[in-house]
Amino acid sequence: MKVVPIALNTFRESVRDRVLYNLLLFVLLLVGAAIFIGELSLAQETRIIVDIGLSAMRLFGVLIAIFIGIGLVYKEIDKRTIYSLLAKPIHRYQFILGKYFGLCFTLLVNTAVMVVAIVLALLYIKWGLDAIQLKVLPAAYLIFLELMVVTAVALLFSSFSSPALSALFAFSLFIIGSFSADLKLFAETIGSRFVGAFCHALYYLLPNLANFNYIAETARGQLVPGKMLIAATAYAALYITALLAATVLIFQRRNFK
């Protein structure tokens, strides 16, 4: 399988680019929150640690997914390494899938370390084991799924656009995807049938990132229901496949001569 070496190489590249340095900042943030905010929050320290931890995990992850994702294809073209790569018996779709899974692996390592840091911070706050330390895991898993979707979005744009524009498009889509509930509400309440249908179409066409956001519920001590985890996983799988298919279609038509 030629996808695996490309993926591993992409992972090594991101480690060399010091992407994982963000973990240091994350750990510092959590330690600071655990020590200082706990004192100020009137017995709400668990909630605040979960909130800060998962929100920072999402924010850092999205920044990595977008800023590294948009350069995945562009860098190879810019440095002309794509010529030597595609001269080998590698299909273009293998190249795209390898790049995608390489960055996902980087994000997986990043997210896993962050989860460990959150659990340790919660252990410190609670002075022992508590259900909340386990409840964080499904929420973190959903964040990872969201990051996989965002990575696929960034990769799609990077397959045909410049890094600056790709970043702009990917960020816009991330913001729209996060506010998709408003889009639906708007579609349901607007008087014009045409605008309503258009908004409904947009709602179902654009990625609905709210499906992966259970930060507030987890912070309140609720566990993500199993059926929601399964549905969100299925949604992510379908959407990522669609995005990767679109990326491959575009990339296969590109002329590098």
Partner 1 sequence: MKAWVWSSLLIVCLGASLPLQRWLDAQRGSAAALEESLYLSSGKMLKRMSLGFDGLLADLYWLRTIQYFGGKLQRMRGSINVNDVSSWRLDLLEPLLEITTELDPHYIAAYRFGALFLPDLNPENAIRFLQRGIHHNPDDWRLYQDLGYIYWKQGRFREASETYEQGSHLPGAPRWMRPMSAIMLVKGGERETAREVFQRIYEHSEDTYTRQISLARLKWLQAEDEIALLHRLMAAFRERQGGCPASLAGLIRSLPASSVGRLRQAGLRFDENGAPLDPDGFAYAYDAKTCTVALAEASTIVRWKF
- State the minimum distance, in angstroms, from the CB of residue 69 to partner 1: 19
Q: Does 238 bind partner 1 (CB under 8 A)?
A: yes
Check: CB of residue 121 under 8 Å from CB of residue 30. yes
Distances in Å between the Cα of 109 and the Cα atoms of 211, 222, 230, 248 are 22, 25, 22, 26
Footprint of partner 1 on 75-94 (CB under 8 A)? 91, 93
How far apart, in whole angstroms, are the C-alpha atoms of residue 182 and residue 170? 19
Token output for 232: 């969100």
State the distance between the two ends of the chain, measured CA to CA, in whole angstroms.
27
Which whole-number Å values give the CA distances from 236 to 66, 210, 233, in the listed order? Answer: 17, 12, 5
Regarding 241 and contact with partner 1 (CB under 8 A), the answer is: yes
When the beta carbons of 81 and 241 are compared against partner 1, the nearer one is 241
Q: Which of 177, 231, 254, 255 binds partner 1 (CB under 8 A)?
A: 231
**Residues 164-193 contacting partner 1, CB under 8 A:** 181-182, 184-186, 188-189
CA of 67: how far to CAs of 63, 142, 224, in Å?
Answer: 6, 21, 29
Nearer to partner 1, 124 or 235 (CB): 235
The one among 197, 204, 221, 254 contacting partner 1 by CB under 8 A = 204
Residue 234 interacting with partner 1 (CB under 8 A) = yes
Question: Where do contacts with partner 1 occur on this chain (CB under 8 A)?
Answer: 91, 93, 181-182, 184-186, 188-189, 203-205, 208, 210-211, 216, 225, 227-228, 231-232, 234-235, 238-239, 241-242, 245-246, 248-249, 252
